[in-house]
């Protein structure tokens, strides 16, 4: 049976807003702002969507099944189902491919899919000793008991636990994400200088894209005090090697090489796409951004999670009878500069390709000229749930702008996985 | 003896398995429940029968209408009572009925869902228990003072007994309608619950008879005669800061009644009834009743069609556009707000948030309102909106350009509206392929506080379109007034007279303070120069050509000076007055009373002259509509019943003479105008 073609009609995202203290938006605020732009632009009626799928890693306690929250807040009809997916850093990408599956199975014709994350809103938790103390206090029935329980408090109970740090760690491997990046630097012999050079490039590329107004997928967002956020404010126009060289390592804090400057930034943001079957697109006479052709997931040693893209890209290319050079442009999410560089090294290494990726020889050399041409998460940030949807959306923009045909968007996933999506703009309107 | 429901037109009686009698009110042939003569007559009969056979273990008053409990007495019937003694008789009769209800041996519960106002609240106060649903539409209050009277069915006495003097007095004097939670906090209702629990709560209350709140010792002390004199004087002092006794005698009467007889004794009821009987005959009350009926007339204008708007697109996020957007979003519409400036859009979002916080209070409702407001810099919303409102700056070419673009993108059935206040509708419409789609919707500043919206009908419009526009205005809970397309329409034309006289006096060397004092003396919420600051001096200057005829040159000189200095009024903290934190800095000033009185007359004549001209030019067709316009659009003092109603109370001969001098015409010429004939 011939598979249904799944087309991407439109997409929009909020600017990615760098966390400076607790931000003004909840994850669903960001999601609503991004998604409603699409609904408005394409004149979507509240009943014309069949499903809403959202990726989000850490929705707030007020946002259980955040996708449903978003659907309702968008004013979509009550009868439209919504579900949330969580695949850590790839949650937004998982939402997009789940939408594709749903359309190909015939379950849905039109799906709103994307991701959102308000990392600045990550909860700060009481530590377990404090929780025990509170519970004991509540259980006491009389004043004396309460007083006694009260006195059992110790200063150490007040030490808070930052949910964000917990989320950015691999508790099985007992490593922070940054430490897995340090391991890749070691494995592939990548220097601090190389990482910093990559980071500077990311900033400069994003700055140029901003200057040339090539980020038309961004929709401005307003907070309740009336401030307008209309660009990725993590970008540093003045980024330079000298400045980055001064930053201390933050994961292996004494002798490490991974710094805030060559890692992705903590940001808040959301990105959504409208996916539809070809039939629905023709029926509604919608425009088309591109086609989502195929996707692939892979898993590997969690302590080298940054190589996830390499592991996901290989089967995707093989299955579709494509070589490295058939792909015009790439988005490889920049969790860490070293991790993107390591992926390129791995794909170009006979040794790694033979031993770890099951190939006869190296896949080939992936030129940085075709990777993240408008910068990446080091410059604009990595709101974990949203990034997967952002790179799919932006890659489509890149392909269209440069009259190219095929692209792959890929990212590494904390816990040791990788995901990749094959996009095509050839032969679609 | 079983009471037969069939005997009654308005009440349905049902005894349940708990021996509780449910008295359901569903007043025949009207939309909302009111305590009309026939409703009360039937209730009297029902209570007689209950007294004769007190076998029920409880009585519950409940409404069988969808969204109101009892909205008050029947205003039409009350208005029709012209004799003081008839009025007193009616009050006493109803008081007796309510006292009988209060004296019933079994628990009596008012189960309130929806509007419970005036007489409805008085009935509820006579019940032993009051329960209220927490639905948003539930409102409980005694708004009688707003129509120039006070409660007359024992409400002003029982409110004090229940709430204590301090809180009870505030409740009666302010005439504010409370939501269920506020009512619970005040102690006005015993419990609040979701509607789904209301009936079960009533049964529980009857079966468990929770303790009834009694007024405390403090109340008993304050209610002692000599204490009443002191506390009463304080009440009056506080009240006088808000309203003058000559303008609003009713709240003063409430205080006086209490000072005279207190609230604890039985004779308090007789005093209340006599006082209301007297107040009903005062001109203030008659004028306020007239305002009430004028409001009804405007509301009726909005009922002429079934047009419903889900989505409004607004072009221009300035003061007016942004505030209209905020108002619409808070009132349930999806709003796409178009403006190239992100600063303007941000400011509109912030104002929407403030308005939503104030009006909607609950977090999820505020969030929903914000989600309905779409900042839309590129005008994507045009293609989907049912109504598109332009609120850009007053520039004909610009507005024409905007409408050309709108027409190209809009739905074929979308209605177009402009918020212009000075440009002729026909000129703007001239660029459209279908000019009949464009009407004027003239909102007033500040949008959240001015209830009126002028629906401007051009020569190119037919009735359907203006009916649609009026329905939209009603949908967003404003009052539509249909006016003809003429410079300044109705309201700005008349307010222009007020401004013109103010500027004229200023140019003639009068002080700002005297001029504004004169405006306030007339009963206007602001003097002409304060108002100009509020509107914005740049806006005044822009419309001066049309609206300040006769004084345009001199006034323009004054205004242009201010505008050139960047003093644009309240919005720039400087205009005629200086402002600190949004409030004018007032300089102590002793004004010459004679001068102020003369200025007041001048301001009044300026407005009256314009009002009559509007009537002559058929911008609206009746005296009533002119008065509705000035009351709801300008804030002309409601107790005067409107500018023309006020004029009617004056000496006809003197007035025609003054007007003749003002217009430099002969008395005969004035008397020959159709407006003058309609006035008398």
Q: Is B332 on the interface with A (CB under 8 A)?
A: no
Cβ-Cβ contacts under 8 Å, B368 against chain A: 73
Looking at the annotation, which residues of B are catalytic? 122, 144
Q: Looking at the domain assignment, is residue A292 inside a domain?
A: yes
The distance of A427 to chain B (nearest Cα, Å) reads 28
Residue B625 corresponds to which tokens in the numbers above?
């509509």
Contact B381 A74 (CB under 8 A): no
Nearest to A374, CA basis, from A239, A205, A204: A205
Instruction: Determine if residue B642 is left, alpha or beta; phi over 0 gives left, psi from -120 to 50 gives alpha, anything else beta.
Output: left
Query: Chain A 61-100, CB below 8 Å of chain B: which residues?
Result: 73-75
Q: Closest-CA residue in chain A for B366?
A: A224
Angle at B170 between CA B168 and CA B173, to 5 degrees: 105
Instruction: State which residue of chain A sits closest to B349, comparing Cα positions.
Output: A226
Nearest CA to B115 out of B167, B183, B206 is that of B183
Q: How many CB atoms lie within 10 A of CB A401?
A: 15
Question: What is the domain range of residue A12?
Answer: 6-122+265-424
Task: Say if A385 falls within a structural domain.
Answer: yes
A70/A135 same-domain check = no
Contact across the interface for B372 and A225, Cβ inside 8 Å: no
Chain A CB contacts of B372 below 8 Å: 75
Q: For residues A65 and A139, state if they share a domain.
A: no
Whether residue A344 lies inside any domain: the answer is yes
Structure tokens at A236: 């540093």
For residues B515 and B535, the model is more confident at B515
Q: Which of the residues A56, A89, A353, A380 is marked catalytic?
A: A89
Q: Are residues A47 and A64 in the same domain?
A: yes
Query: Mind listing the pLDDT tens digit for each residue in B213-258?
Result: 676 778 888 888 888 999 999 999 999 988 888 888 999 999 999 9
Q: Is B363 on the interface with A (CB under 8 A)?
A: no
A84 shares its domain with A157: no
Establish whether A56 is a catalytic residue. Answer: no
- Are A31 and A137 part of one and the same domain? no
What does the pLDDT read at residue A429? 62
- Asked if residue A249 belongs to a domain, the reply is no
Helix, strand or coil for residue A202?
helix
Is there a single domain that holds both residue A68 and residue A137? no
- Tens of pLDDT, residue by residue over B118-138, are 999 999 999 999 999 999 899
Structural domains present in chain B: 5-281 (3.90.226.10), 301-483 (3.40.50.720), 491-592 (1.10.1040.50)
Distance, CA of B123 to CA of B127 (rounded, Å): 7
Concerning whether A89 is annotated as a catalytic residue, the answer is: yes
- Cross-chain residue pair A226–B376, CB shorter than 8 Å: no
Q: Distance, in angstroms, between A224 CA and closest chain B CA? A: 5
The CA–CA distances, whole Å, from B664 to A155, B552, B677, B678, B680 equal 88, 18, 19, 21, 21
Q: Strands (DSSP E) along A29-101, which ranges?
A: 51-55, 82-85
Q: Is A156 on the interface with B (CB under 8 A)?
A: no
Distance from the A373 Cα atom to the nearest Cα atom in chain B, whole angstroms: 27
Contact B371 A225 (CB under 8 A): no
Return d(Cα A281, Cα B395) in angstroms, integer: 42
E strand segments, B373-531? 373-375, 387-390, 415-418, 438-443, 452-457, 479-484
Contact A32 B371 (CB under 8 A): yes
**Contact check, Cβ <8 Å, B368/A224:** no
Q: Cβ of B371 and A220 within 8 Å? A: no
Cβ-nearest to B345 among A41, A74, A222: A222
| pLDDT (0 to 100) of residue B625 | 95
pLDDT of A164 reads: 83
Indicate if A54 and A148 belong to the same structural domain. Answer: no
How confident is the model over B452-471, as a mean pLDDT? 93
Burial B84-112 (b: 16+ CB within 10 A, else e): eeebbebbbbbbebbebbeebebbbbbbb
Q: What is the value of pTM for the model shown?
A: 0.91
Which chain A residue has its CA at the smallest distance from B410's CA? A43
Summarised one tens digit per residue, pLDDT across range B273-308 is 999 999 999 999 999 999 999 999 999 999 989 999
State what percent of residues in chain B have pLDDT above 70: 97
Q: Are residues A109 and A157 in the same domain?
A: no
**Residue ranges of A 262-291 with Cβ closer than 8 A to chain B:** none
Tell me: ipTM over 0.95.
Answer: no
Confidence class of residue B394 from pLDDT cuts 50, 70 and 90? confident
For residue A87, what are its two tokens?
A: 């695949």
Q: Are residues A104 and A144 in the same domain?
A: no
**Is the residue at A314 inside a domain?**
yes
H helix runs in B15-164, sequence order: 37-52, 75-80, 84-102, 119-126, 155-163
Q: What are the DSSP calls for A79-96, one per residue?
A: T--EEEE-BTBTHHHHHH
Q: Examine the pLDDT at B1 and tell me if it is beyond 60.
A: no
Backbone angles phi, psi at A369, to 5 degrees: -65, -20
State the pLDDT confidence band at B5, using cuts at 50, 70 and 90. low
A33 and A64 fall within a common domain: yes
Nearest chain A residue to B346, by CA: A226
Q: Distances in Å between the alpha carbon of B473 and those of B316, B325, B451, B453, B491? A: 19, 13, 10, 7, 17
* DSSP character at residue B435: G
Regarding whether A420 and A293 lie in a shared domain, the answer is: yes
**What pLDDT was estimated at residue B555?**
75
Nearest CB partner across the interface for B384, out of A37, A43, A226: A43
CB-based contact, B436 to chain A, within 8 Å: no
pLDDT band of B355, cuts 50, 70, 90: very high
Q: Which of A108, A137, A162 is the last residue of a domain?
A: A162
Indicate the number of domains in chain A.
2
Cross-chain Cβ contact A75/B334 below 8 Å: yes
Q: What is the mean pLDDT of residues B316-323?
A: 95
Helix (H) or strand (E) holding B465, with range, is helix B463-475
Give the dihedral sign, CA B658/B662/B666/B667: negative
Task: Determine the Cα–Cα distance for residues B77 and B408; give it in Å rounded to an integer.
Answer: 53
Query: What count of CB pairs under 8 Å joins A to B?
Result: 47
**Which segments in chain A show pLDDT lower than 50?**
none
For residue B443, what are the β-bridge partners?
B453
* Concatenated DSSP letters of B324-374: HHHHHHHTT-EEEEE-S-HHHHHHHHHHHHHHHHHHH-SHHHHHHHHHHEE
Q: Which residue in the set B336, B350, B371 is minimally distant from A40, CB to CB?
A: B336
Q: What is the pLDDT of residue B525?
A: 87
CATH assignment of the domain containing A271: 3.40.47.10
Question: Which residue of chain B comes nearest to A29, CA vs CA?
Answer: B371
Instruction: Find chain B residues with C-beta within 8 A of A73's C-beta.
Output: 367-368, 371
Residue A379 within any structural domain of the chain: yes
Under an 8 A CB cutoff, do A73 and B371 touch?
yes
- Cβ A40–B376 below 8 Å, yes or no? yes
The bridge status of strand A221-222 relative to strand A228-229 is antiparallel
Burial class (CB within 10 angstroms; exposed 0-12, middle 13-18, buried 19+) of A164? middle
Q: Taking the C-alpha atoms of A245, A249, A253 and A256 in order, what is their torsion angle to the nearest 10 degrees?
A: -80
Long-range contacts of B668-673 (CB under 8 A, 24+ apart): B673/B612, B673/B616
Residue B264 sits at φ, ψ, to 5 deg, of: -90, -25
- Neighbour count for residue B508 (Cβ, 10 Å): 9
> CA torsion, points A110, A115, A121, A126, in degrees to nearest 10?
100
Q: Taking CB atoms and an 8 Å limit, are A32 and B372 in contact across chains? A: no
Mean pLDDT, rounded, of chain B: 92
Instruction: Work out the minimum CA distance from B358 to partner chain A, whole angstroms.
Output: 14
Query: Angle of helix B84-102 relative to helix B267-280, nearest 10 degrees?
Result: 140
Count Cα atoms within 13 angstroms, Cβ side, for B363. Answer: 1
- Alpha carbon separation from B570 to B318, B513, B525, B532 (Å, rounded): 15, 17, 16, 9
Tokens of B473: 């205005």
Does residue A205 belong to the interface with chain B, where contact is any CB pair within 8 Å? no
**Is there a single domain that holds both residue A269 and residue A409?**
yes
For B185-196, the DSSP string reads HHTSSSEEE-HH
């Amino acid at each position: 049976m011939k598979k249904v073609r799944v087309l991407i009609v439109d997409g929009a995202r909020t600017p990615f807003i760098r966390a400076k203290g607790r931000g003004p938006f909840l994850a669903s605020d960001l999601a609503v702002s991004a998604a409603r732009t699409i609904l408005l632009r394409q004149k979507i009626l509240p009943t014309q969507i069949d499903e809403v799928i959202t990726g989000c890693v850490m929705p707030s306690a007020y946002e259980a099944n955040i996708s449903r929250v978003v659907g309702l807040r968008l004013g979509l009809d009550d009868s439209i189902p919504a579900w949330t997916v969580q695949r850590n850093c790839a949650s937004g990408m998982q939402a997009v491919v789940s939408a594709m599956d749903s359309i190909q199975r015939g379950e849905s014709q039109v799906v709103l899919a994307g991701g959102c994350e308000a990392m600045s809103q990550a909860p700060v938790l009481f530590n377990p000793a404090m929780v025990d103390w509170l519970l004991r206090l509540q259980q006491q029935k009389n004043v004396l008991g309460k007083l006694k329980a009260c006195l059992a408090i110790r200063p150490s109970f007040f030490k808070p636990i930052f949910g964000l740090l917990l989320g950015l760690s691999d508790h099985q491997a007992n490593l922070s994400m940054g430490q897995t990046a340090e391991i890749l630097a070691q494995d592939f012999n990548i220097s601090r200088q190389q990482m910093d050079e990559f980071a500077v490039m990311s900033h400069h590329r994003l700055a140029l894209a901003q200057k040339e107004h090539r980020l038309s997928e961004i929709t401005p967002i307003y907070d309740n005090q009336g401030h307008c956020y209309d660009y990725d404010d993590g970008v540093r126009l003045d980024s330079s090697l000298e400045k980055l060289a001064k930053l201390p390592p933050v994961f292996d804090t004494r002798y490490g090489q991974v710094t805030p400057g060559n890692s992705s930034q903590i940001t808040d943001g959301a990105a959504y796409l409208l996916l539809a079957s070809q039939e629905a697109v023709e029926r509604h006479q919608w425009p088309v951004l591109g086609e989502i052709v195929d996707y692939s997931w892979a898993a590997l040693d969690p302590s080298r999670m940054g190589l996830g893209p390499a592991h996901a890209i290989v089967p995707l290319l093989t299955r579709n009878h494509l070589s490295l050079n058939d792909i015009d442009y790439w988005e490889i999410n920049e969790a860490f500069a070293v991790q993107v560089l390591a992926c390129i090294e791995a794909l170009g290494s006979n040794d790694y390709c033979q031993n770890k990726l099951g190939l006869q020889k190296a896949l080939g050399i992936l030129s940085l000229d075709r990777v993240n041409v408008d910068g990446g998460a080091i410059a604009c940030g990595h709101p974990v749930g949203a990034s997967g949807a952002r790179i799919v959306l932006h890659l489509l923009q890149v392909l269209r702008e440069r009259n190219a045909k095929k692209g792959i968007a890929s990212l590494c996933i904390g816990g040791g996985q990788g995901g990749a999506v094959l996009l095509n703009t050839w032969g679609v309107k | 003896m079983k009471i037969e429901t069939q005997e009654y037109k308005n009440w349905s009686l049902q005894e349940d398995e708990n021996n509780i009698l449910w008295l359901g009110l569903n007043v025949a042939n009207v939309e909302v429940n009111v305590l009309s003569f026939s409703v009360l007559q039937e209730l009297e009969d029902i209570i007689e029968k209950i007294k004769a056979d007190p076998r029920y273990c409880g009585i519950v008053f409940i409404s069988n209408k969808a969204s109101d409990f009892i909205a008050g007495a029947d205003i039409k019937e009350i208005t029709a009572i012209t004799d003081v003694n008839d009025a007193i008789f009616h009050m006493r009769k109803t008081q007796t009925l309510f006292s009988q209800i209060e004296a019933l041996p079994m628990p009596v519960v008012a189960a309130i869902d929806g509007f419970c106002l005036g007489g409805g609240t008085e009935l509820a106060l006579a019940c032993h228990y009051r329960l209220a649903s927490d639905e948003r539409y539930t409102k409980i209050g005694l708004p009688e003072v707003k129509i120039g009277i006070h409660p007359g069915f024992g409400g002003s006495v029982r409110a004090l007994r229940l709430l204590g003097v301090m809180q009870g007095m505030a409740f009666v004097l302010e005439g504010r309608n409370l939501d269920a939670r506020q009512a619970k906090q005040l102690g006005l209702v015993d419990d609040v619950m979701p509607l789904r629990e209301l009936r079960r709560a009533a049964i529980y209350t009857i079966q468990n008879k929770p303790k009834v709140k009694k007024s405390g010792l403090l109340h008993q002390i304050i209610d002692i005669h000599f204490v009443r004199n002191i506390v009463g004087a304080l009440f009056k002092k506080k009240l006088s800061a808000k309203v003058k006794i000559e303008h609003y005698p009713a709240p003063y009467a409430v205080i006086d009644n209490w000072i005279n007889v207190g609230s604890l004794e039985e004779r308090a009821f007789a005093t209340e009834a006599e006082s209301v009987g007297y107040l009903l005959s005062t001109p203030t009350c008659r004028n306020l009743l007239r305002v009430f009926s004028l409001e009804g007339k405007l509301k009726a204008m909005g009922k002429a069609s079934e047009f419903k708007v889900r989505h409004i697109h607004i072009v221009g996020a300035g003061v007016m556009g942004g505030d209209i957007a905020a108002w619409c979003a808070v009132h349930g519409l999806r709003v796409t707000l178009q403006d190239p400036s992100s600063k303007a859009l941000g400011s509109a979002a912030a104002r929407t948030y403030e308005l939503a916080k104030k009006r909607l209070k609950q977090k999820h409702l505020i969030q929903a309102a914000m989600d309905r407001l779409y900042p839309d810099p590129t005008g994507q919303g045009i293609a989907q909106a049912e109504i598109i409102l332009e609120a850009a700056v007053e520039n004909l070419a610009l507005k024409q350009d905007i409408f050309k673009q709108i027409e190209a993108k809009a739905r074929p059935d979308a209605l177009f509206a402009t918020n212009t206040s000075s440009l002729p509708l026909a000129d703007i419409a001239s660029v459209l392929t279908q000019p009949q789609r464009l009407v004027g919707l003239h909102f007033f500043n500040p949008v959240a506080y001015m209830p009126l919206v002028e629906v401007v009908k051009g020569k190119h419009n037919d009735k359907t379109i203006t009916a649609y526009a009026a329905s939209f205005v009603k949908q967003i809970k404003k009052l539509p007034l249909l006016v003809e397309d003429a410079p300044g329409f109705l309201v700005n034309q008349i307010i222009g007279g007020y401004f013109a006289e103010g500027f004229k006096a200023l140019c003639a060397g009068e002080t700002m303070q005297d001029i504004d004092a004169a405006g306030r003396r007339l009963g206007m919420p602001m003097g002409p120069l304060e108002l100009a600051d509020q509107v914005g001096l740049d806006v005044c200057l822009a419309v001066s050509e049309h609206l300040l005829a006769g004084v345009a040159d001199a006034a323009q000189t004054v205004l242009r000076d201010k505008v050139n200095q960047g003093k644009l009024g309240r919005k720039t903290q400087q205009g005629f007055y200086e402002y600190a934190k949004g409030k004018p800095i007032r300089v102590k000033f002793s004004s010459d009373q004679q001068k102020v009185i003369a200025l007041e007359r001048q301001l009044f004549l300026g407005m009256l002259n314009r009002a009559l001209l509007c009537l002559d030019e058929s911008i609206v067709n009746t005296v009533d509509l002119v008065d509705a316009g000035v009351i709801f659009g300008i804030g002309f003092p409601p107790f005067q019943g409107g500018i023309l109603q006020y004029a009617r109370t004056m000496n006809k001969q003197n007035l025609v003479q003054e007007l003749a001098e003002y217009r430099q015409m002969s008395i005969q010429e004035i008397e020959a105008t159709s407006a003058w004939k309609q006035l008398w």
